[in-house]
Amino acid sequence: MSVKQEVETKRIGFSFSISIEKELRTQTEAKYPDKTIVKASLEGNTDTYEQATEMLRKAKEEILKQTSG
C-alpha cells in the first residue's frame, strides 16, 4: 500500500513588496568621503487592495525611520 500526498500553497489577495536603498556619506580627512549603503525591504500579502496600499505606506515609513541617520 502506498500513500501519495501533494501540498500546494495558494495566496489569494494582493502581494506587495517595497525595497529602499539609501547612501550615507561621512566627511573625513581623506580625499573621498566614507560611503555607507543601507538597504531594507519588506513584503507581505493582504486580502484587499486598500490593505495592500496601507501596508506599503506603513512599510515605507518604517524603513525610512530605521534608515534615517
User: Rounded to an integer, what distance in angstroms lies between the CA atom of residue 34 and that of residue 47?
Assistant: 44
Do 22 and 67 touch, CB atoms closer than 8 A?
yes
Q: Which of 43-47, 52-56, 60-64 has the lowest mean pLDDT?
A: 60-64
pLDDT band at 66 (very low <50, low <70, confident <90, very high): confident
- Model pLDDT, residue 1: 67
> How far is CA 61 from each of CA 22, 45, 58, 68, rounded to the nearest angstrom?
14, 18, 5, 11
pLDDT band at 3 (very low <50, low <70, confident <90, very high): confident
